[in-house]
Amino acid sequence: MSQPVGDIGLIGLAVMGQNLILNMNDKGFTVVAYNRTTSKVDAFLANEAKGTKIQGAHSVEELVSKLKRPRKIILLVKAGPAVDDFIRQLEPHLEKGDIIIDGGNSHYPDTIRRSKELESKGLLFVGSGVSGGEEGARYGPSLMPGGSPAAWPAIKEIFQATAAQVNGEPCCDWVGEGGAGHYVKMVHNGIEYGDMQLIAEAYDILKRGLGLHEDEIADIFNNWNKGVLDSFLIEITANILKFKDDDGEPLVPKILDQAGQKGTGKWTAIAALDAGMPVTLIGEAVFARCLSSLKEERIRASKVIAGPQKEAFKGDKKQFIDDLEQALYASKIISYTQGFMLMRQTAKDLGWTLNYAGIARMWRGGCIIKSVFLGDIAAAYQKNSNLESLLFDDFFNKAAHKAQPGWRRIIAQAVLWGIPTPAFSTALAFFDGYRSEVVPANLLQAQRDYFGAHTFRVVPGKENTKLKLGEDIRTYHKLPCLPFLTCYIG
Ligand code: NBP
C-alpha cells in the first residue's frame, strides 16, 4: 500500500468545506476530501478541485488511510448530531494522538463534552471557530481553535498559514482549553449582532431624524470608514446604501424590515445571563431583531400609538453627524468591553486561560467584525493581560471621555424624536452604571429583605446602623408581620 500523503482531511463539501480545502491547497497542503453524499466528492474533484493536489475519499476508512500521522481531520458539517455521527464513524479508524477538529458553528457545551469524551479515549479534539463566510474560507478566515492543548503544535502550521493575515500576523492563535474556541467564536458572533445594530440605529437617525437620502448617508459612512470606525461592516454599509434598484431608487428601503437570526447572538446573551455579566448591548441587539420580526403588530401599533410631534432639526448638522460618529464609537467600545468581560468571567468559571490580546488579533482580519479598532484592543491587553475592562485602559478611557458629550446629545435627540436607539442607549446606561460608585441596589436589597427575608449587608463604616442583625424594620413602622428583615455586617 502506498504511503499516506494527506496533510489534513476535511469532511463536509458544502460552501465552507470546499472553500477551505481550496485555500489550504493554495497554501501548499495536501487535503483529502470526503462528504456523506459521495457524489459531491467526485463533482468537486472534477470541477473546483481539478488540477490541484486535492485527493478524494469515498469512505471514512479511505479518508483516514490517506492521512499522515498524527491524522488531522476537520469536520465542516451542519452543527449538531452530524458532528457526533462523524466522530463515532471516525473513532474506530483513529489512533492515540490523532486529532478531530470541528470547524462548524457548534455550541460550546457540546465542544466541552466532545473534548472530554475523546481525550478519555486518547484522541485529541479541537473546536475551532471559523469566521468570514465563504470568502473568508477561500482566501483567509479568522480561525479560533481551542480544545486539547496537545493538538495545537500539530495543527498550528496549517491553521496559521490558512488564516487571514494582517500586517504579516495570522488571524489565528490557540484560544484555550475545552470549548474555548467555540465560546470565543460565539462571543464574536454576538459582537457582530451588536455592531450591526449600532450601524442600523445610526442609519435610522440619519434617515428618519435628519431626513437624509441613502446616497448622503453612504457618503457619511464612507467618511467614517477613514477614521476610528474603519471596519468591514462600515465599508459594506456604505456600499449597500449606494446600491440602486432597476428604477434608480436605493434598494435598502425596499427590503422588508424583519431581521433573521441563526441563534449565536441568542447563545451569547444566554451565556451572559448564565455568567451573571451585564452584556446588555448584545442582548438589546438580539431583542431588536425580535421586535423587528413583529412586523404586522408594529403596523397595527403605528396606527394607534402616537409618538412625539416630529420637528425638523434646527441645529448644526455637521456637529450632529460628528456626534453620531462618536456615539457609535463609544457604544462600540462598550460592546467590546462587555464581550471581553464575559469571556474573562467564563474563563474564570471554567478554568480556561484565554489570551485576550490574541483573541483581538484573531478578529482583526478574515471575519465580519474585522476593524482597525481591534488592533487598539489587542494593544490594551498586550499592555495588561489582567485588564478588568477596556474602560480601565488609558486609550479607551480617554476615547470614551472624549465621545461622551456627543453620545449623550445623540441619545437625547433620538429620544425627543421618538427614534428607538436600544443599543446606543443601553451602552450609555452601562457606562453610567459602571462609573457609578453607588447604584440604587441598596433599595433593591431592602425591598428583597422586606418581602423575602433575603438579608442585606451594610456599607462598611455604617455598622452602627439602627437596624441590627435579626431585627425587623417593620416594627419601627408598625407594619404587619411579613418574613422578618435581617441584615449582617459585611
Ligand atoms: P451546511 O451547514 O449547510 O452543512 C452541509 C454539510 O453537512 C454537507 O456536507 C452535508 O452532507 C452535511 N450534513 C448534513 Br446537512 N446533515 C448531515 C448528517 N446528518 N450527517 C452527516 N453529514 C451531514 O454547510 P456550510 O454552510 O458549509 O457550513 C458548515 C459549517 O460551518 C456549519 O456548522 C456552519 O454553521 C459553519 N459556518 C458556516 C458559515 C457560512 O457562511 N456558511 C460561516 C461560518 C461557519 P451532504 O452533502 O451529504 O448533505
Residues with CB under 6 A from ligand 1: 12-17, 35-37, 40, 76-79, 82, 85, 104-105, 130, 133-134
Of residues 447 and 356, more confidently modeled: 356
Q: What is the pLDDT of residue 468?
A: 56
> pLDDT above 90 covers what percent of the chain?
89
Tell me the average pLDDT across 401-406: 98
Q: Give the pLDDT confidence score for residue 407 in this predicted structure.
A: 98
CA neighbours closer than 13 Å in the CB half-sphere of residue 434: 21
pLDDT tens-digit profile of 219-252?
999 999 999 999 999 999 999 999 999 999 999 9
Q: Which three cell numbers stand for residue 284?
A: 438589546
Q: Which one is predicted more confidently, 71 or 479?
A: 71
- The string of pLDDT tens digits covering residues 21-54 is 999 999 999 999 999 999 999 999 999 999 999 9
Mean pLDDT of 347-376: 96
pLDDT number for residue 446: 85
Mean pLDDT calculated for residue range 444-461: 83
| DSSP secondary structure of 34-60 | E-SSTHHHHHHHHTTTTTSS-EE-SSH
CA 327 to chain centre: 20
pLDDT of 357 over the 60 cut: yes
**Which pLDDT does position 471 carry in this prediction?**
56
Q: Three-class SS of residue 244?
A: strand
Q: What is the pLDDT of residue 1?
A: 58
Closest of 8, 130, 133 to residue 64, by C-alpha: 8
- What's the confidence (pLDDT) of residue 448? 85
Catalytic residue list contains 249: no
CA distance 242 to 218: 6
Q: What is the DSSP string of 192-218?
A: HHHHHHHHHHHHHIIIIIS---HHHHH
Q: Any idea of the CA torsion for 418, 419, 420, 421, to the nearest 10 degrees?
A: -120
Please confirm, yes or no, whether 91 is among the known catalytic residues: no
Q: What is the reported pLDDT for 483?
A: 47
Supply the pLDDT for residue 482: 47
Q: Are 374 and 340 spatial neighbours (Cβ–Cβ below 8 Å)?
A: no
> Is the pLDDT confidence value at 441 over 80?
yes
Q: Give the pLDDT of residue 484.
A: 46
For ligand 1, atom 21: residue with the closest CA = 82
Q: Say what the pLDDT of residue 457 is.
A: 84
- Strand pairing report for 165-166 and 169-170: antiparallel
Contact 250, 215 (CB under 8 A): yes
- The rounded percent of the chain whose pLDDT value lies above 70 is 95
**Mutate-to-test residue for ligand 1 from 16, 21, 37, highest number of ligand atoms within 8 A of CB:** 16
